[in-house]
Amino acid sequence: MKIVVMGCGKIGNTVISSLVSEGHDVVAVDSNSAAIDEIRDIYDIICICGNGADYDTLLEAGIDKTDIFVAITGSDELNMLSCVIAEKMGAKHTVARIRNPEYNDKNLPYVKQYLGLSLHINPELLVASELFNILKLPSAVNIETFSRRNFEMVEFILKENSNLDGVSLMDLRKKYKSNFLIGLVVRNDEVFVPDGNFVLKNGDRIGIIATPHEIHKFFKTMGAIQKQAKNVMILGASTTAFYLAKMLLSSGSNVTIVDKDEARCSLAAQRLPGAVVINGDGASQEVLLEEGLLTSDALVTLTGIDEENILVSFFAMSQKVPKVIAKINSNELISMAEKLGIDSVISPKRIVSDVITRYARALQNSVGSNVETLYKFMDGKIEALEFNVSNEFKAQQIPLKEMKLKSNVLIGGIIRKRKVFIPTGDDVICAGDRVVVISEGQKMKDLSDILK
């Protein structure tokens, strides 16, 4: 498909990288010549320096033959305006990044309908939702949700002296009666879609697939359950912090926000009357300790500086704060943070890239079994997808043990009406089901892609 991406910042760069790797015909547009030069040096695509809301710029980008127009600049208004113009000029689908909480409140359905948007993306709200899920289950380092949160893949790390060390997945299912499946394992930067003979080791990062209830039961049986974070400190009074604090306060948690910018603190205090807002330098150990870091159940670092988020997170870990989560955008710094022992790292650009990639794949196969959800792991080496099964799927009613699946493909779950279950070899797939698939080295657009 032809996709025009307007906005080549950190998120735009990641989106372009993902779409190019998917084989799409991508055109990059940005008014910043330095950003365009950087994209041109990295990717073999058409790059245009200009205003994405300008008629001539969009004409040069070939907007009349564009399947998807994606506007992800830092300005909500520019994104919305450019989408309106692009749609009027012939773009089939338009996607806008809309971050302002005022637009994302009751006005959003009207704005989306009036502007004719196919999809809107709020990175800050998406990140906040992911953070909130992790804080509800602090034992996890990451949580990805399927089927409207009825099904999850929870990542956690096997610590030293874990009682799962040396246990095969086959024996694990026998030992713990919970209805779950291990969908992926990362070991020493190598990733596996494991079978029943795979043996776990301390230090493994594993992804367990199950319903939230079964996952909670599994952690409890293992003795690894941590209570939900009730006292949460947030570093940085950003838009993401606002959304996260609002969710935490609604769930009964206590929230403290620390930021050195007086204007941001004043706005946060107005918007979040239930939170404690501190105007101070969160990079100062003295300030953090004075404001209750040692009594916090969790610290979430959300400043705009990756290095500061890493350093403060590392300090909090040294002070034995039970849960520490850092927002990091740089791929190199994400790797560094993980080596320093910061288990939970959130990347906004990765989250947005997954949403747009999923949308493009779903449009590519609008007749077959559409991609409903898509997550990427280990720089895209592993994908977890949720498909809506259509009548066109050829392997309906065939027991899974008789299906000829491609290598490194695992059917992780089936959602049928209101029932969610981990399939056995005797189970079948039916039209109307939602099916969760884990794959390595594949780029699946349709459920039929799992078959040889």
Higher pLDDT, 444 or 12: 12
The whole-chain average pLDDT of the chain stands at: 90
Joined together, the tokens standing for residue 369 give 């079994």
Question: Residue 370 — left, alpha, or beta (φ > 0 → left; ψ -120 to 50 → alpha)?
Answer: beta
pLDDT, position 336:
87
- Which residues 6+ apart lie within 8 Å of 444 measured at CB? 361, 371, 383, 385, 437, 450
CATH no. for 2-121: 3.40.50.720
Q: What burial letters (b/e) apply to 40-51, b meaning 16+ CB within 10 Å?
A: eeebebebbbbb
Question: Is residue 297 within 8 Å of residue 230, measured between CB atoms?
Answer: yes
pLDDT at 366 over 60: no
Q: How far apart are CA 384 and CA 155, in angstroms?
A: 12
Name the pairing type of β-strands 419-421 and 409-416: antiparallel
Predicted pLDDT of residue 104: 64
Supply the CATH classification number for the domain 231-346. 3.40.50.720
Share of the chain above pLDDT 90, in %: 60
Q: In the predicted model, what is the mean pLDDT of residues 355-362?
A: 87
pLDDT bracket for residue 218 (50, 70, 90): confident
**For the chain, domain boundaries:** 2-121, 127-222, 231-346, 353-450
DSSP code of residue 297: S
Nearest Cα neighbor of 329 from 12, 76, 100, 7 is: 12
Read off the pLDDT band of 412 (50, 70, 90). Answer: very high
| Residues 133-142 pLDDT 10s | 999 988 888 8
pLDDT number for residue 189: 78
Choices 3.40.50.150, 3.40.50.10090, 3.30.70.1450, 3.40.50.2300: CATH for 353-450: 3.30.70.1450
Record the pTM.
0.86
Q: How confident is the model at residue 80 (pLDDT cuts 50, 70, 90)?
A: very high
Maximum Cα–Cα distance across the chain: 65
State pLDDT tens for residues 308-348. 999 999 999 999 999 999 999 888 898 888 888 887 999 99
Judge if 2-121 and 231-346 fold alike in CATH terms.
yes
Angstrom distance (rounded) from CA 300 to CA 326: 6
Report pLDDT for 176: 76
Average of per-residue pLDDT across 416-421? 87
pLDDT at 244: 97
pLDDT in tens, 155-207: 988 888 888 899 999 888 777 776 888 989 989 878 888 888 999 999 899 99
CATH superfamily of 127-222: Regulator of K+ conductance, C-terminal domain (3.30.70.1450)
* 71: pLDDT strictly greater than 60: yes
